[in-house]
Chain A
Amino acid sequence: MERVILYPGCLVLSRFHEYEIASRQILKKLGIEVLEMEEFCCCGSSLVPGVRDDWINLPAYSLARAERVGVDLITLCGSCTNTFSRANLLFERKPDLLEGVNIRLEQLGLRYTGGTKVRHIMEILADSMDEIGESVVNPPKVKIALSHPCQIMRPSEIVGKQNPLKFRAMHEIVSALGAEIIDYPREQECCGSTILLTDTAMALEVGKRKLESATEAGAELLCVCCGNCLLLLDRHQGQMGLKKRIPVVSLPQIICLALGFPRNEMGTIHH
């Protein structure tokens, strides 16, 4: 049985339990054993590098934890995926960096050689699309629009080499569930969630435009696969002044519904 460490990230572990629960359920269904991170530490995202030269020690810590167990690190947020992948690429290009990082890690009884593979949950779902499709008992009956997690796709230099995910991955997975997918003009645009940290009004406007674009195209539900997308498009949706609200649900939850998981085994669905 394949074993992985699930790294929910700061946002998901305390705020989006339904996303984490559904992800764990799907991994279990796919025969993947989930191990816990012994002691959790923030990956640092793309925010710490602008403040600290030693930011890379943060992602290196979790990568080293996974390497010690000999398993892949599975992420739920685009931001964590991007940061871990960026760190791995830097270690590959500048092996000297590892020496400095390991001086710190050794104080925690750890060492990193650059060998941990980082996979976002959507990559696993994409790889298991056929198996998921064959297990569908309850095809979604709502019209679903998609919002793709930017940071598991871009920059391709960072995530492209380790993550063969195509832009169409979410489209293909949701299609495999038998759902009707609604294309909309702002589908490929960023949700704008990270802007919440610097300009709340702008973030809400970016989110509003995206959600309006989806509902105007006829979508009844928006599928996301990132804690940041959930934060802005779901939790902050009530502040956007939308004429018509729309449920925002994570891809693993939609899969759980399609696969017939009892609702009490897949976390709460808001709305």
Chain B
Amino acid sequence: MGTDVPNECDQCMRCEDNCIITRMDGHSITSELNELAKDGAWNCASCWRCIEGCPQGVDIFGFMMKRRMEEEVPELIRKGIDGIFSTGYWFGEIQFNEVRESFMLPAVRLLGQEKVALLMAEEGERS
């Protein structure tokens, strides 16, 4: 068993069976738990059936986050996180209030870069 696979995991494969990614022949975090692949931590539908169906109560989310820290961040996710740091909004600099106003929806004011910087540690620094 991989050194960082949680001890509680007996690799029964139930998470693998429950995962929509693996049922599509892809690799997900369940593939990593069962040591079938090492490139699945980011490929996730966030349906959490793996967690719900685990008979051992393995902290699959925690394992996933640990592995994600070690694997390359997919481009679209990196872009989204950059957007949060530049405006507080996943999609960054998109101007949406004109459209919202046309639907008579209230304008949304974003937290903004300076305040996000106060909220979060500097990039690379871990809190």
Contact = CB atoms under 8 A, between A and B. Distances in A.
B43 A198 contact: yes
A138 B77 CA distance: 42
Given A14-B96, A192-B45, A51 B68 contact: yes
A50 B46 contact: no
B110 A48 contact: no
A50 B120 CA distance: 15
A61 interface: yes
Interface stretch (B3-11, B30-38, B99-107): B99-107
Interface string A50-63: 11111001100100
Given A154-B52, A197-B74, A202-B21, A17 B64 contact: no
Given A14-B96, A104-B120, A107-B118, A197 B76 contact: yes
B120 A54 contact: yes
Contacts, number: 165
A155 B48 contact: yes
A151 interface: yes
A247 interface: no
Interface in A1-59: 10-11, 13-14, 17, 20-21, 24, 36-42, 44-54, 57-58
A213 interface: no
Contact of B24 (A40, A52, A205): A205
B91 A14 contact: yes
A108 B119 contact: yes
B24 A50 contact: no
B109 A39 contact: yes
A42 B74 CA distance: 19
Interface residues of A, number: 58
Contact of B20 (A48, A151, A206): A206
B45 A190 contact: yes
Contact of A51 (B81, B99, B115): B81
A163 interface: no
Interface string A238-271: 0000000000000000000000000000010000
23 contacts: A10-B89, A10-B91, A14-B100, A40-B111, A41-B84, A46-B46, A47-B81, A48-B81, A48-B84, A49-B68, A50-B68, A50-B69, A53-B126, A57-B127, A58-B120, A78-B46, A100-B127, A104-B119, A107-B118, A155-B51, A191-B45, A192-B20, A199-B26
Interface of B: 20-21, 24, 26, 41-49, 51-52, 61, 64-65, 68-69, 73-74, 76-77, 80-81, 83-84, 88-91, 94, 96, 99-100, 103-106, 108-112, 115-116, 118-121, 126-127
